[in-house]
Amino acid sequence: MTSTISAPQSSVQPANTTAQDATQPIRPAVGRAAELARTAEEHARERQHAKGKGTARERLDLLFDADSFQEIGRFVGGDINKGVAGSAVITGFGKVYGRTVAVYAQDFSVRGGTLGVAEGEKICHLMDMAISLKVPIVALIDSGGARIQEGVAALSQYGRIFKKTCEASGFVPQISIILGPCAGGAVYCPALTDLIIMTRENSDMFVTGPNVVKASTGEMISMADLGGGYVHNVVSGVAHYLGEDEADAIDYARTVLAYLPSNCQSEPPVFAYASTHADQAAAARIASIVPDNDRQPYDMLDVIHCIVDYGEFVQVQELYAKSAVVGFACIEGHPVGIVANQPNVLAGILDVESSEKVARFVRLCDAFNLPVVTLVDTPGYKPGSDQEHAGIIRRGAKVIYAYANAQVPMVTVILRKAFGGAYIVMGSKAIGADVNLAWPSSQIAVLGAQGAVNIIHRKDLQKAKERGQDVEALRAKYVADYQTTTVNANLAMETGQIDAMIDPEQTRDAIAGVLRTFAGKRRFRPVEKHHGNQPM
């Protein structure tokens, strides 16, 4: 990327010049602009480096392939004659792994990166161009919010950006990287995008800052504890990745863009892939990872690494709602979205947080043509008054809406257990998956055997206790009978809910085969309507 404007030098002579006039003189206006650009970047380095932050142009260097950035409107909002370099935002296009991406990068060294009319106009113009070109949009956020001096005119620009972001939503991928403050109404710009990336230091998002919170409620809290990168990745779930520093955060954005198509009308990129002995060894290792005892935990990530190409898996929201795992991977060179329960955390149970995490990710994959691979091992929804009061009905329904409306290829594998409503919502065939597979030892039922027996045979067990019989032995008999007659996956096969029983070692090949078969799946509109009214 070229961060300064170099004065053009020409060795081409006009027809009527002599040898002594071989060099064309620099026009004064061009020279002033070049000097102003250099001075502005030096000023930005002085201000940003002192805070441990990069300048907007240094960040663009990290985001784009070398020498690929083309700036749009360098001096818009400035006054070259008066020494004003331009507005507090840089806009333009560059290449990420060879594909065009639009960007706007707020420049905190100019008026604190605040948004005024000129900045809003530049951002909206860029977004219009990105939509027209059908390319992703990346926002590098580092701003003090709306410019107070411009009043409601500045606030109105946020409204315009909100509308443009909604217009682009689901059409082109949108990623926000928070590399400084993002406060007040400004937080809803990134909130409307597909992914939010933050850093451990210097990255803050909040609607009302610490001073306002203290004045309103008396609570004293730091910026980091109120809306820092760790808080939004672990507690609120607002962010999707926590970068160690700016370089890590920007590299994650580049990685995610590599899995996504440029727009919803394009297919995801395809990568060269050749099967190796390592794939076969990994596939054979799956059976040893999952214990036979359905109450014994294991790490679902170990299973995923055995299934995907080269064991490479890019998690999304890794630090939030850890009982579910979502992320990007490739199978035979084709990008897919992986959704899985995590038995290592709360037995892989579905709760309000993990439901929203899964639903949001499935919607993202469906918007941008990524097949969804679902790996199921869950005892059901988390019980308790805290979950009911937190809206498990409304928020759990989001998973249903996401899967039921998805039209990308979907394959689901039940590894060990799938009980109750969680079986239905986690990519079951009834809700819209194309193919459902199961391991031989898997269990599918309304309830697990222990819970079901305690309900169905409650009176029998009570009578046995009164008669002095061995209640535990009788309970074990009922559990064994229930497992044989009810939770056996063969029953699901007989009713067509499971398409095939596969050995664990066959999991990768089976998934790959399904994805090849359904690669030509096309979207359709079952009914005419404006849009659905999904649970919010």
Beta bridge partners of 138: 103, 175
DSSP SS3 for 83: coil
185 as an active site residue: the answer is yes
Residue with tokens 């061009």: 30
Q: Three-state DSSP class for 499?
A: coil
Give, for 213, the enclosing helix (H) or strand (E). helix 210-217
Q: Are 128 and 94 a contacting pair, CB within 8 Å?
A: no
Among the listed residues 184, 243, 380, 427, the single catalytic one is 184
Active site residue 116: no
The neighbour count for residue 379, using CB atoms within 10 Å, is 25
Instruction: State how far the Cα of 239 lies from the Cα of 253, in Å rounded to an integer.
Output: 13
Q: Is 397 an active-site residue? A: no
CA separation for the pair 341, 353 (Å, rounded) = 13
Q: Which is the catalytic residue, given 37, 324, 422, 492?
A: 422
Contact criterion met (CB below 8 Å) for 419 and 446: yes
31 Cβ partners below 8 Å, 6+ apart?
7
Q: Which amino acid is at 280?
A: Q
- The residue ranges of DSSP E strands in 472-529, in sequence order, are 500-501
CB 422 within 8 Å of CB 379: yes
Residue 440's CB is within 10 A of a number of other CB atoms, namely 11
Displacement of CA 31 from its chain's centroid (Å):
44
Q: Which of 311, 391, 421, 432 does the annotation list as catalytic?
A: 421
> Is residue 422 flagged as an active site residue?
yes
The two structure tokens encoding residue 195: 């992914």
Question: Active site residue: 34, 112, 170, 185, which one?
Answer: 185
- Kindly list the catalytic residues: 184-185, 421-422
